[in-house]
Structure formats: C-alpha cells, structure tokens
Amino acid sequence: MPIAYLLLGSNLGDRATILQEARQYLSEAAGPVVAASGLYETAAWGVEDQPPFLNQALSIQTSFSPTHLLQVCLATEQQAGRVREVRWGARTLDVDILLYGQEIVDLPDLQIPHPRLPERRFALAPLAEIASAIWHPTLQCTVAELLAACPDKLPVQRQ
C-alpha cells in the first residue's frame, strides 16, 4: 500500500487537541499512521495577520486513491469545524496531501506533490523530521534538500 504524507495545521481553538483528534480520525478513516512529527509552532503564511499555527506531518499507509484520500482529508477538516471564508485565513484544521508515494497528480482540485511545498518551511520542517530522505518526484531531490534550499524565512519552532 502507498504511503501518503500529510500536513495538519490549526490556528484556532485548542490546536494541539484538534491535531490529536485529526490524527485519530485519519488513522481510522484512511489507514494507519506510520509516523508523526512533533508539533511545530509556525507563523501564518500567505495571510500573516492571524494567530500562529501548530503544524504536524504524518505518514499514513492507505489503500485509498489520491482523490479518495482528499475526500477523507476534507471530511476530517469538516469534522473539526473548518469554515472556508478567506483563502489562507485562520482555521480550526487544514489537512494537505504533500506527497503520495512517487505519484504525480494534476487535477483541478488536487495537485500532488503539493505545488507550494518547496516554498513553505512550515510544511518542510515537520516533513523532514519523518521523511528527510524521501524523493520529490518532480523536483528530483530529497525533502532535506528542499528544506535546506527553502526561501521562506518565517519562524518555525518545534514544540
């Protein structure tokens, strides 16, 4: 079964509890969590005038297709009370698919690898903790190399 790499993020409510409940829900709904990074407090990216995020990377073993996994990720966000009002705005939970094995997916609602992964330190730092040697299928380098070259200078602190 493929291994998918997800990024969880929350900047509203009890962030740590929301991430814990999301990990549990994803494990039950999509497949077992193989690895989980620590929690990282990160500055908001995109729309910076909002509370800081807690982020965590997960690897899960799933039998779902990438599009089915996306539906589970969206259901997980909804379960946590996510309301989509402003792009990159504050939210109870965000679940992004960063990588799905070595697959490349280019659909209107789903791009894998995540197209903004190389420019987001808040995603690369926790991902590197659990998958530093994983190969990015389109950029032909490792997650560790992407993190080392990341232009994003926003603070990312492991909790």
pLDDT tens string, the chain, 159 residues long: the values are 899 999 999 999 999 999 999 999 999 999 999 999 999 999 887 767 789 999 999 999 999 999 999 999 999 988 877 776 666 667 889 999 999 999 999 999 999 999 999 999 999 999 999 999 999 999 999 999 999 999 999 999 999
pLDDT score for 80 = 78
**Cis amide linkage into residue 155, ω under 30° from 0:** no
Q: Exactly one of 23, 94, 120, 152 is catalytic; name it.
A: 94
- In the residue annotation, 91 being an active-site residue is answered as yes
CA angle centred on 49, ends 46 and 51, rounded to 5°:
100
pLDDT score for 145 = 98
DSSP state of 12: S
pLDDT score for 86 = 64
pLDDT score for 151 = 96
- Rounded to a whole number of angstroms, the distance between the first and last alpha carbons of the chain is 31
Q: Exactly one of 15, 23, 82, 120 is catalytic; name it.
A: 82
pLDDT score for 84 = 66
d(CA 129, CA 36): 9
- In the residue annotation, 82 being an active-site residue is answered as yes
- In the residue annotation, 96 being an active-site residue is answered as yes
d(CA 46, CA 31): 31
Strand-pair partners of 36: 58
- In the residue annotation, 14 being an active-site residue is answered as no
